[in-house]
Amino acid sequence: MHPLDWTIVSIPLLLVLAISLHTRRYVKGISDYLAAGRVAGRYVVAVAAGEASMGLITVVAQFEFMYASGFAVNFWGALATPIMLLITLTGFAIYRYRESRAMTMGQFFEIRYSKKFRIFSSGLAAISGIVNYGLFPAVGARFLVYFCDLPQKIHFLGFSWPTFAVLMALFLTIAVVITCLGGQLTIMTSDCVMGILSYPMYLAVAVSIFAGFSWWNDIAPALLDRPPGKSMLNPFDVGQLRDFNLFFVLVGILGSVYSVLSWSGGQGFNAAAKNAHEQKMGKILGTWRGGFSGLMILLAAIAAYTFLHSPKFADRAAANTEHLAWSALEDTGMAYAPEGYPHSGRSPEALAAWKNRLAKESPATKQAFETIQNQMRVPSALRDILPVGVLGAFCAVMIFLMISVDSSYLHSWGSILIQDLVLPMKKNPFAPATQLLWLRLMVVLVAVYAFLFGILFGQVTYILMFFALTGSVYLGGAGAVILGGLYWKKGTTTGAWAAMLAGSGLAVTGFALTNFWTGSIYPILSTSPDMLGFITTCIEGFSAPFEPMIMWRVTPDKFFLNGQEVYLLTMLAAIASYVGGSLLTCRQNFNLDRMLHRGEYARADDAVAVVEKAAPSKWGILRFLKSLSGIDEHFTRGDKALSISVMVWSLGWGFGAFIVILAWNALSPWPAHYWANWFFIQQYIVGTLVAVVTTVWFTIGGSRDLWTMFQRLKTHRADSLDDGRVIGHANADDAAPEK
């Protein structure tokens, strides 16, 4: 990269670190470290949580997804619009969780179920989450190596060090410093600042792609040139896509409802707002917050695909592809071979020789090579697409996302180990200083684990599939337990145990089969042709009625179920187990009002101002619409305008256009170029206009809200009893006598 690019990268990063150092002075207790003192406003919650939930690895995963499927599969995501709208506007789950005042999901589990269940489920969450997180630093560091075209090895002190390992160590150290300084308070502040600084950088990237590629002459022709069944524009012509298909989208929709609060990687954000209403409004703002971030990811992936497939860029694309292949060979250790193998520089002949050798390598080595090429194809192409200055802006945004997700996950997983495994087992509480020391120590240990995992683990599947596999170990059972605990007074501890064991058991089985299928399981099955034939017939016969959405094929290359399919099975098993176990063992309804601090259990410090106590409407349809929009007596005029704008936009444009196009194609299927026209209007024109408006809006709102949060912190006092302990199904500060 040019020195100007490195300057653009360095200055914002130093600013974020300086602000993080300033924030540490406000950490006065456990609740400050775990939940930012519960003083954050809606814009800080929306911007910071959005930054943390994205993450650099998510960008790479979306690049994989978009590069493989383009606009076509994404079109079906509109099916989720009414469901996600209802969840967002009503504050589904998030409102009640904030009312419980739990700072970790494990704390909620002990309030709702039992101490033993808290320990077990939190241990499961920690195992699932930490294994899942182990891939994050490695993918992020490797992204920077390929995007910045850094050498694969660095020679220092007489040793040769993998560059991605050095970068992992560097950025994990930065994340550890940010996290240990002030926990969730520092994380929210730095994430909010990084989110605000990223907006103009997103704009620069989008404008650069608009200027460098013509939709009609470059992008559309490249996207249209696809074989039948694998269209990148026509959503009705995607039947041959195995992994990223309509079934993937449908399970994702179900999972987004089922697991709305399950993933603990960003649990601090769910407890950080000053009250439940602000938490809900932060979620609603998140609907608009996507702006240029989502548009930038989509445009970057499509631009990379066009660059690598359009005849206009053939010479540059060929050089880029060859360079990527050499880098991947070096990355997997192939290009540093013993004597006897050809190694005559980076010539086409030498590359062909190395690929011939690769064909003779073990399946694990070949999969590692292919996985790296798939993951780094878009970053490598973007390096040759973006001009000087914009290259630095994009790199800065990616570093922000990497630091953001690293700090959030280090905080979450480190906190779970102390708060939900060690704390419940102690007879006497920690001294606050000791508890903070252990929380920070766990952050360091999780970072060391992630570094070692990133070096030693060889990934063999898509990132999104890896997420589904590792996440389902906990998520498969957690969704039923959390939603049942928040909304169903008949849910019991027995039902919770049954759901968690069923979901995690199936998920662990799926994870093992996926990872050991090629090397161990299939070779064993193949020793008995009759048994293998019987299994093949049963499995392929069962999936036949569901094709093309589900196509199970027994092959030696990979397990016939992908991560998303395993996830669906775990969800269904957990729901059935929770409901059945609870109905069989419920003897007394649980006191939800006490857990949610409602009625006689209400707390003054969490109170939400009543703006307007209107009489119930006589018209049922009006009550229904009001309920749908989530509007209650706590809504100001601005709150109402925000909710209504989200509802009108989502149902009118997002879902309304989807229904019209669906009906139109049912009557008269569109030719391929119609789809090209539609996505130009939807993504380029409308998407850009919305992104510009939200960029200005959230820059102003986020900056103002951040200032207000610091003003609150000056008078905030942490309660020493608010440390995550539970006494008699109540938080310790609720159970304690009045002071």
What DSSP letter does each residue of 247-290 carry, written as one string? HHHHHHHHHHHHTTTT-GGGHHHHT-BSSHHHHHHHHHHHHHHT
Full DSSP string of 402-451: HHHHHHHHHHHHHHHIIIIIIGGG-SSPPPHHHHHHHHHHHHHHHHHHHH
In the predicted structure, residue 3 carries a pLDDT above the cut 90: no
Q: What is the pLDDT of residues 508-556, one digit of tens each?
A: 787 778 777 777 787 888 888 888 788 888 877 766 766 665 667 777 7
643 vs 273: CA distance, rounded Å: 18
Which domains occur in the chain, in start order? 3-335+372-460+680-715 (1.20.1730.10), 477-588 (no CATH)
CA–CA distance from 113 to each of 119, 429, 598, 698, 733 (Å)? 11, 21, 19, 39, 18
Q: Using omega within 30 degrees of 0 as the cis cutoff, is the peptide bond preceding 548 cis?
A: yes
DSSP 297: H
Q: What is the per-residue pLDDT for 290?
A: 63
Tens of pLDDT along 85-137? 888 888 888 899 999 999 999 999 999 999 999 999 999 888 888 888 888 89
Distance CA 713, CA 723 (A): 18
Q: pLDDT tens, 219-244?
A: 889 888 888 877 888 888 876 655 55
What lies within 8 Å, CB to CB, of 654 at 6+ separation is 78, 81
Q: How large a percentage of the chain has pLDDT more than 90?
A: 24
Task: Dump pLDDT digits (tens) for 47-100.
Answer: 888 888 777 888 887 787 777 777 777 787 777 778 878 888 888 888 999 999
- Please state, in angstroms and as integers, the Cα–Cα distance from residue 7 to each residue in 383, 422, 705, following that order: 17, 44, 29
Q: What pTM was computed for the model?
A: 0.83
On whether the CB atoms of residues 607 and 274 are closer than 8 A, the answer is no
Higher pLDDT, 622 or 729: 729
536, 616 contact by CB (below 8 A): no
- Nearest Cα to Cα of residue 658 among 84, 79, 66, 72: 79
Residue 259 reports pLDDT greater than 50: yes
Q: What are phi and psi of 81, to 5 degrees?
A: -55, -55
Q: Average the pLDDT over 248-268 and give the result.
A: 80
**Between 207 and 545, residue with greater pLDDT:** 207
pLDDT at residue 341 is higher than 50: no
Lowest mean pLDDT among 468-472, 593-597, 647-651: 468-472
Close Cβ partners of 200 (under 8 Å, ≥ 6 residues apart) = 393, 695
420 φ, ψ (degrees, to nearest 5): -115, -5
